[in-house]
Structures are given as structure tokens and as C-alpha cells.
Chain A
Amino acid sequence: MKKYTYTESKDTRSGFGAGLLEAGKQNENVVALCADLIGSLKMNDFIKEFPERFFQIGIAEANMMGIAAGLTIGGKIPFTGTFANFSTGRVYDQIRQSIAYSDKNVKICASHAGLTLGEDGATHQILEDIGLMKMLPGMTVINPCDFNQTKAATIAIANYEGPVYLRFGRPVVPNFTPADQTFEVGKAVMLNEGTDVTIIATGHLVWEAIQAGEELEKLGIHAEIINIHTIKPLDEEAVLKSVTKTGCVVTAEEHNRLGGLGDSVAQLLATKKPSPQEFVAVNDSFGESGTPAQLMEKYGLNAKSIVAAARKVIARK
């Protein structure tokens, strides 16, 4: 098992803030919009550097999506910022018509996704956003795993033509991917080569998958671990190649098991390479208040759950 270490834990939303500033420096057409959550989205540095390229929308997310669509007409590259719940479910029709169907180059940047938002509870913990966004034709869906990767993803999507949903979170998590990484949209990242089971994880579950890989190693199980930061378009080649080798797969995500990464992998495998699969995901329920760690434990979204799922799926081979 390849060793992964980190020197500090940081939040992915700060990676977004750092990436936005850098993207703004690289391209003067990058503009940012926020619906009264500047601090939460870590957009302060961008605003300080480029005040004339920032638009405070107020608590009016539908209007924000429409304004973002309009800004593209004139060559701007708008990054909208609010919580994942208000970035998707609240404004689904605005995104569908004014952005996705209209082929607009808007980057929908969504923080506080999933259970790890914590104490605010289920009203804010959206677990359906990946599904909502991936169903829209032409929409790219990205869920990076740590600070460095979120920063790299933010910079990369500024140069990627078309609507993008970029999902990240609130808590600090191990920052283990390289600071100088090149982020390639739609390209899986191989974290560990193995032979017995493929573990495909996205977002906060990637670090948990690495922990799980180490536990499995102690049991004599060699896990292949893949970080899928881009859920759509899915790196089908990487998934098929790995599952052809290992013969089974565990998918892991901070999302409802309906509509998420697991669904996408299952659909691919069902048509190209039928294989046993286990899903580490929220089992079609809403979340609740609690600390992130308590919630991830209660809803079965951690290394322990991945280990159990891996052993189960290997037995089904």
C-alpha cells in the first residue's frame, strides 16, 4: 500500500477561495457572484483583489444564476458561490434553462455539501446535488477531495468551456494531494494499485478510502484505490480497466446512494462489465444535526464502512 501523508488539515472551501483568486489573476474575464455567503465561501481574497469583478447578489439565488448566465454573454466566466443546497435544488430550473440548456459557461461553485456541514442539520445538508446536476445534459460535475485538489480544480474549470458544478465542503480534512498537481477534468487519479478489490471514492471519502486500504492491507487484501474527482464525464476507461483486474468494486461518496457516483459506476459496469458492487453512501435518507465525525459514523461514511463493504463485495465475486 502506497503511503500517503499530510502536514496539515484544511477545508476544501478554502481551496476554492485560493483557486478563485488564482483564476482571477490568470484571466481577467473571471468574475464572481455570491448570495450573501462571502465568508463561508472564502471569496474575500478575490473580492479584495478584484472588487469590480465581484457581484454581491443578496439572498436571491435564482437571480444569481440568471445574472451569471447573462454575464457569459459578453465573454465573462462567472463563478457563483453559495451552499450546495442553494446552488442546486433551490435553483434547478434556473440552471436547467438559463445555464445548461442555454450552453452557458457558468461555474456553479457549491460549498457545505453533504453531511459534513454538521450542526445546521438536514435543511442545509444536501445529499442529492450530484444526482440533480449530473442529470442535466452537458453539465460537468466535479467533487475534489482536499484543499490542494479543490484549488487546482477551481483554476482548471476557468479554462474549461461549458457549465460546471464544483462541489466542496465545510470541514477541515487532510490535505494530502500535491500542491503542484495538474487537474485534468474527467481524468481519474490512481492512488494505489491493487488486485483484490477496486475502491472508487470521491470528495471527502477519498481520504477514508486510503485509510480503508491500509486496514485491508493488514487483512491481506490488496485494494486498488481510485480518486474520481470528476463524476461526469466519468473516466470510464479507468473504471473498466481496474474492475476488469480486480473483479469487484466499492464506491464511496458523501451523497445519497441514489443518483451519485455509485449509480454512474453501476450503470457503466452493467452495460460493459457486470461485476459485484457495494455502495458506501447515504441510504436514501436526510441527514441531521451533529458533528461531522458523528454523522459520518452514524450514516456509515468512513473507512470502517469501506472496509466492511470491501470484504462483503470480495465474498460476492
Chain B
Amino acid sequence: MSADINNLEQIASQVRRDIVRMVHACQSGHPGGSLGCTDYFVALYFHAMKHDPSFNMNGVNEDLFFLSNGHISPVFYSTLARAGYFPVSELSTFRKIDSRLQGHPTTHEHLPGIRIASGSLGQGLSVAIGAAQAKKLNKDDSLIYVLMGDGELQEGQVWEAAMYAPHNKIDNLIAAVDYNGAQIDGSTEQVLSLGNLRAKWEAFGWDVLEVEKGNDMASVIQGIDEAKSRTGKGKPVVILLHTEMGNGVDYMMGSHKWHGVAPNDEQLELALNQLPRTIGDY
């Protein structure tokens, strides 16, 4: 198990390098949330999910992942490339003209691994529920995963979906909230308080579990495994994933300021010095 964790940490380090290099190369994009969610993405695609990088849109008998907060596309793209969905060299095209790696994820350019466009917030949970219901109709017992931002929970549609899933016993669904407490204009506490998030999800009828250390691979693995064990029991499951925006790059941590800002040349060097090259850069 510890060798496994070590391996996942190596992948995560490389994904973090990819993220800062991608964002630096086009001088735009969202490094903060991407770095914070890196461990979760790596744990999903390299540990938890049953999935096939040869990619088929319907994903029959595969676990499917949906990214609702599409602005953290760098971590999504890097993870997909590192998992074999498309060549890692394509990461250099991120946000550039004629690229399949659009600023926010899209199916429109037929990038393997993407099943829905996201970016305009609040829509991913609904889509995930639909995909979960399709799986039930198809008697396909694999799982649906969806990740949302915590600021994103300010969108009303999220709560329409949150009300719907328990009523309909969508128990093949594991939602996660990137609970980093930060959004563009400041902390969620300042901008629009989320209040008692656990109580809110519980009141809506969800089985809630918290991963206190969302940037510790062992904790993340344990949390996802626990969430999986709670599926199939009549309730949807949500993970409150406590992460740190910018995790892995010291000057980006503990601030919302790197939500959507790219590092300059000097800052890139500084970041890369903190992130060991493991598998190899693209």
C-alpha cells in the first residue's frame, strides 16, 4: 500500500509540474484550484476508477468522472494525458488557437476523456445525476463521480440537483466539493458564506463524509475508498474535500490570488524547484 501511495505521489508531483507549465506557457488559466485538486484527480484516475483511456462517450461498464468547476481544466487535462487518454505533448497546446485543450473543457473538440462542457458553474451535478440514472436504466453497476468547487455551491442549480438525487435514491454517485474556502473575490466566508456545509448536505439527504487532508494522498485514498463503500445503500454520497488552493507551490498557498493568474518566468522556476520531475515533463 505504501509503495502504491508513493507511486501516486510521484504522479501528482508531475501533474503539478504540468499545471504550472501549462498555465505559464499561455499566460492564462487557473493554477490555484488545479493544484489543490491534484491529489484527488490522481487518486481517482490512478487508483479508484475503473476506466478505459481508449475512450468511448457512453462509457458502458466504466466509472465516469464529471468536472463541474471547469476552470480547473489544467489538472483535468494533465491527469487525462498522464492516464493515457491523449499524448502528453498535447498539453503544450493548452488555451492556444486550434487546440483540443480549450480554456474550459469541451466535448466540441473531441478530446478523449471529456464527456460534457463545463465552465459556466453549477451544472455538473445535474449532468452527473443524469449519467447515473442512465447507468441504472442500463443495469450498469459502475459509478459516477463529479467534482464541484465550494464557491460554485452559490449557484442555485446545485441545490435543485442536491434535492433531486436523494429523493430518487441515486446511490451510484459520489460527488465531491473542493472545500478550499476561496473564490475569485476572496474567501467564501467574505463573499457569500457557505455556512454549515455538512449540515446542508445532510439536510438534503446525502451521506456526507469529510476528507480533512485533501492534499495528503493516503487520506484522499482512504476517503474515496470509504465513499465507494457507502454507495449502493440508497443515498448519494458527497465528500467534503478540504484542500488548499495552490497546494505544492509555496507562494500560491494560503491565498485566493492565484485562482486565475499565471506565473511569470521567475515564478515558474520557483514553482518547478519545489515540484520534483518524476515521470518526465511533456
Contacts and interface: CB of A to CB of B under 8 A. Distances in A.
A98 to B, nearest CB: 5
Nearest to B162: A63
Interface centre among B119, B123, B132 (most CB of A within 10 A): B123
A103 interface: yes
Interface in B101-116: 106-108, 115-116
Contacts of A78: 130
B64 interface: yes
Nearest to B126: A66
A101 B60 CA distance: 23
Interface stretch (A68-76, A198-206, A258-266): A68-76
Contacts of A31: 137
Interface in A88-140: 93-94, 96-98, 101-104
Nearest to A74: B134
Contacts of B168: 55
B123 A57 contact: no
Contact of B157 (A53, A74, A94, A102): A94
B59 A73 contact: yes
A55 B167 CA distance: 11
Given A74-B140, A76-B137, A66 B64 contact: no
A190 interface: no
B160 A75 contact: no
A97 B125 CA distance: 14
Contact of B117 (A60, A67, A101): A101
A153 B168 CA distance: 31
Given A53-B137, A62-B160, A63-B164, A70 B132 contact: yes
A52 B116 CA distance: 25
B180 interface: no
A243 interface: no
A70 B161 contact: no
B194 interface: no
A74 B58 contact: yes
Contacts of A68: 130
A74 B60 contact: yes
A98 B137 contact: no
Contact of B161 (A66, A74, A103): A66
B217 interface: no
A101 B129 contact: no
A58 interface: yes
A112 to B, nearest CB: 22
B227 to A, nearest CB: 19
A68 B127 CA distance: 7
B57 interface: yes
A97 B118 contact: yes
A65 interface: yes
7 contacts: A31-B137, A60-B160, A60-B163, A66-B129, A73-B59, A73-B115, A97-B117
In order of increasing CB-CB distance, the 9 nearest A-B pairs are A70-B130, A66-B126, A74-B134, A60-B160, A63-B160, A67-B130, A70-B131, A70-B127, A62-B157
Interface of A: 31, 52-53, 55, 57-58, 60, 62-76, 78, 93-94, 96-98, 101-104
Given A60-B157, A60-B163, A102-B106, 20 more contacts: A31-B137, A55-B133, A58-B163, A60-B160, A62-B123, A63-B160, A65-B126, A66-B124, A66-B127, A67-B161, A69-B130, A71-B133, A71-B134, A72-B130, A73-B127, A73-B131, A74-B134, A74-B135, A97-B123, A102-B107
